[in-house]
Every structure is written in structure tokens, then in C-alpha cells.
Structure 1
Amino acid sequence: MSERARVFFACWPSPGLARAIHRQALRLQQSCKGRVMRPDTLHMTLAFLGDVERHRLPELQAVASRVAAVPFRISLTRQGSWHGHRIIWLAPEEVPAPLDLLQTKLCAGLRSAGFQLEGGSYKPHVTVLRNARSAPAEACCGEGLGWAVDAFRLVESQRLPDGASYRTLGEWPL
């Protein structure tokens, strides 16, 4: 096992919601092409740390255990693309205040503990297609997909030829 782990914090949908998101991804694939994300890999990232020394994983877990936040609901009502239409995503129209607070508290705790975070400003989304050939024709995805968020996870990502494999290293209820 490597001395470093590629890690991130994220919210994970229930299996039923993951299947509904996956169905929307399959519909998008018909027009956008690309590789559909597996239902078990669908998530909304809160903080991406990248490669972290394994001996520091308990520090990450300690930071997460100190984050006080409340459960919230979001609705994935928008769809769009990034990186020249290569990444297709679903996202909420507006960021609920409890999600913004959860993400802000988590990132502040991580920075205070000396961790470097990757990425710019926070844009909550669920990546549903990779290597797409075109953007979605419409910006909205119908009625939206309701999500009751009641926990967040620390996850290790391993790159495999057919996509990523994720292993949960800790989960904290809201």
C-alpha cells in the first residue's frame, strides 16, 4: 500500500437517489456521449485534498468529527458542462445555507490543521458523465432530483482503468 492516499470529503446519495441520478446520466449520454459514472461513485464533493500522507488520515478524521452542521435538502435541477464539455454535471439551482456552512466549516478546519485544499470557489455538483462530446441541450433537468443530506464522508480514491474506486474512511452524521 502506498504511503499516500488520494482523499476527499463528500456527501453520498442514498442508493435509490444514486439510481435516479444514474438514469438521468444515461439520458444525457444519448445526446452528449461520454462515459457514464457508475451509481456507486456518484457524490457531491465538499473538499478535495488530493494526495495526503497516510499517517495524517487520523487528523482528517479528527477535523471532520469537530464539524457541527445540520441535515439539509437539495434539489438537483440544473445540468451543464465544464472543461470544453468533457464533464457533464447535475447541480442545485441555489446552494442551501446549511450546505454552504458545512463546506465552509470543514474547509476552515482542514486549513487550520495545515492541509492544502485543491480547487477554486465551491460549486456543488454531481459529475455524471466524463469525456462527453457535447454539452447538454438544456440547462435544466426536469423536475429535479431531491436529496436529503444527513451525513458526509472521508473517501479514498483509487484510479483504475475503468474509472475510480472509492473506499470510505469515515462517515459523520449531520
Structure 2
Amino acid sequence: MTIPLPGLDLQQLGPEQSLRAFIGWWPDAQTRLYLAEQAVQAQVIYGGRMMHADHFHLTLAFLDGSSVSVLQALAENMADWPVPAITLDLTLRDVFEKPQVVWAGPDESQRQALTVLDQWHEDIWARLTALGWTQPPRRFRPHVSLLRHARIAADQSHRHALPTQAFVGDGVGLIVSVPGEQRSQYHLAATVNPGRAVS
């Protein structure tokens, strides 16, 4: 299991400091290469800023701003969370118009994979709720962001079939976003089932 991000020891930070965080499912190097190629092609159409290749991920739960003390408790709790085996293909490019995001993901024909992903998402949120988080009302749409700040024309279809690529998972982690001079940098604060391959 390899998530290609610098590590961050939450114990070294002030407990009341607030960091944006999420739980993400990271693809392997081959999948990241495919996603980088799709991001380059999408940028020709939409402009915007490409995601850094090591940042490609599928978000399982977005935690927004959370205190370090709360994230420390989560990091200790999540090590033994279950990770289901999922066979998932990336087959579709589409957009989220309002946040100006272009993404890749599975199409609706992959019912079994989407059902397992939905169940995994709900299981994670049940565990987070027990720790004090509140699940947002937004619909869960499994995706990997390719571009941000894209120029997306309103009231047009942006759905586009992609060459099929298996999403091969290579780790599930608690990721925190640390502000930098030019852009924020993702750091790995904890992993789920470290040492176990995710399929």
C-alpha cells in the first residue's frame, strides 16, 4: 500500500489548530498516469488547473475544517476500519459546474461497484458520526477530480466516454491540506489497514 504523499505527525501540531481534511482512496501509479493523461486532454477543452499527479484520489468523506485534536482521535480510530474489495473502472469524464471541476469516474452501468462504494461511504460516515462529525446532505458521486477552476459552459452536456481504465486502489488514508505559499499541499496523517493491499 503506497500513498505518494509526505507524512504529517499530528502529535507535533497544536491541538486547536484547524486543518481541512478528507478520507481518500488513492490509485496506484498506473491509474495515476492514466488520470494525468486525461487531465491534459481535458485542459485543452476547459483550461483550468490540473491536479498534481500525486493528488489524484477518490474522496470517501470530506471533513472540511477540523481541529487537530479531533483528527488525532480519528487517526487512532481508523487504522482497523474495513476496506471492501471493489472492481471499478474509470469510463466517464464529466463536470461539476458550480465548483468548476472536471472529473473522471465510473458510469452508471457498474451497478455492483457503485453499490459497494455507496455502502462503504455510508459505513465510513456512520463511524465518523459516532466520533462527532455530521454527515453533509450532498449526494455521494464517486469521482476523481482532474481539473479545478475550469471554464465550464452552462446548460451544456459535458459527459464524455473515456477509454476504460481499472481504478486500482493503493491505499486509503486520512489526508490533511496544509497551506503553502502558492497552493496547499496534501499530507498523509493516517492510513486504513496499513500493509493491506486495496483492490
Whether TM-score is above 0.5 comes out as yes
- The residue aligned with 1:151 is 171
* 8 Å contact from structure 2 (residues 95, 158) kept in 1: no
- 1:51 is the counterpart of 2:65: yes
Q: TM-score, normalised by structure 1?
A: 0.87
- The residue aligned with 1:61 is 75
Q: Secondary structure at the match of 1:114?
A: coil
- The residue aligned with 1:127 is 145
Q: TM-score, normalised by structure 2?
A: 0.77
Kindly provide the amino acid, as one letter, of the partner of residue 75 in structure 2. Answer: Q
- Structure 2 spans left out of the alignment, 5+ residues: 1-12
* 8 Å contact from structure 2 (residues 24, 58) kept in 1: yes
Q: C-alpha displacement at 1:64, in angstroms?
A: 2.2
Q: C-alpha displacement at 1:24, in angstroms?
A: 0.5
Equivalent-residue separation in structure 2 for 1:76 and 1:44 (angstroms): 11
Equivalent-residue separation in structure 2 for 1:73 and 1:50 (angstroms): 28
* 1:61-100 matches, cutoff 5 A: 61-84=75-98, 86-94=100-108, 96=113, 97-100=115-118
Equivalent-residue separation in structure 2 for 1:43 and 1:31 (angstroms): 22
The sequence identity of aligned pairs, in percent, is 24
Equivalent-residue separation in structure 1 for 2:76 and 2:166 (angstroms): 30
**Number of equivalences:** 174
Q: Deviations over 1:41-89 (max 9, x none)?
A: 1111010111111112232124423532322121111111113472111
* 8 Å contact from structure 2 (residues 93, 162) kept in 1: no
> Which structure features the higher share of strand residues?
1
Equivalent-residue separation in structure 1 for 2:20 and 2:59 (angstroms): 13
